Amino acid sequence: MRTLDVDNTALRAAITVTDLPPRPTALSATLTFFHRALLKIKHVPEQLMDVTLTPVIFTLMFTYLFGGAIAGDTRTYVQFLLPGILVQTVLIITVYTGFTLNTDISKGVFDRFRSLPVWRPAPVVGALLGDSVRYTIASAVTIGLGLLIGYRPEGGPVGVLAAVALLLVFAFSLSWIFTILGLLMRTPNAVMGVSMLVLMPLTFASNIFVDPQTMPSVLRAWVDVNPVSHLVTAIRGLMAGTATFGDVVWALVASAVLTAVLAPVAMRIYRNRK
């Protein structure tokens, strides 16, 4: 009996925690979930097919389908199209933010995350930052293919990098829409369907493919206020070396407003989700 008491005492001493580990900061928790997103890409590389094949399909299809009819030849049209198709490609990929989030929710993963003693938005923000890596890959594929088929950015490498950076900022802000849908919808397929309905008017009813001056007045009125149109104008200008300060600021302000309005809504839904 004494031996058992001694053993129990030694066991309690061995497992007693005297110095608790420090609580993770908001930054460290977010980076941990960002790393998780990168590990998902590493272990399931098939999910990169959309960011590698989609840019190729969109760029080649629209260039050679519309180039001759709109601009007379594909080389001329690709100078106008490529910045726009870059925007469309990345924004369409943002739809998968809500899809993957809803998949994690349906598997019960996010219930576990919500029970952890970490900064509450960290799982969502970390996942969004991880998606930014996917957007960067899609941008690199699109621009690389564009260079192969004749696109020549007069803004040089600095203009191209600035355009991609601006696009990533806007894509991050737009992703909050699909995060909200991922939290509200019951299935990943429902998220995908509703997200595409949201995204189609933003991308196709814009100045991505043609000059809005050729459009009917009602459609042109929408294109003129469409935030994607202003983003395309800014990116087209940065890559061509003709961007104005107002074009870039407008895109940044739109990104800030989207994040300021949608992020709190998404986190409120996340906290109250049952």
pLDDT digits (tens, 9 = 90+) for 87-138: 999 999 999 888 988 888 888 887 788 888 888 888 889 999 999 999 999 9
pLDDT at 1: 45
| Prediction pTM value | 0.86
pLDDT tens string 197-241: 999 999 999 999 988 888 898 999 999 999 999 999 999 999 999
Q: Is residue 3 part of a domain?
A: no
pLDDT tens string 164-185: 999 999 999 999 999 999 999 9
Residue closest to 179 by CA, chosen among 109, 104, 101:
101
Q: Terminal CA-to-CA distance of the chain, rounded, Å?
A: 49
Q: What is the CA radius of gyration of the chain?
A: 23
Q: Is residue 165 part of a domain?
A: yes
CA distance 78 to 63: 6
DSSP classification of residue 73: S
CA distance 215 to 217: 6
Task: Check pLDDT > 70 for residue 149.
Answer: yes
Q: Are 207 and 233 in contact (CB under 8 A)?
A: yes
Domain coverage including residue 177: 25-272
Q: Is residue 30 part of a domain?
A: yes
What mean pLDDT comes out for the span 45-73? 85
pLDDT tens string 233-260: 999 999 999 999 999 999 999 999 999 9
Structure tokens of 54?
A: 């989609």
CA distance 127 to 178: 12
What mean pLDDT comes out for the span 26-48? 85
pLDDT at 17: 62
Residue closest to 87 by CA, chosen among 198, 217, 229:
229
Q: Is residue 70 part of a domain?
A: yes
- Work out the number of other CB atoms within 10 angstroms of the CB of residue 190: 16
CA distance 88 to 209: 10
What mean pLDDT comes out for the span 20-41? 86
State the total domains in the chain.
1
Mean pLDDT taken over the chain: 88
Question: What contacts 35, CB < 8 A, 6 or more positions away?
Answer: 126
Q: Is residue 148 part of a domain?
A: yes
Within 13 A of 184's CA, how many CA atoms are on the CB side? 14
Q: Is residue 58 part of a domain?
A: yes
pLDDT at 7: 63
Q: Are 73 and 150 in contact (CB under 8 A)?
A: no
Residue closest to 154 by CA, chosen among 238, 243, 83, 241:
241
Q: Is residue 1 part of a domain?
A: no
Q: Is residue 6 part of a domain?
A: no
- Work out the number of other CB atoms within 10 angstroms of the CB of residue 233: 21
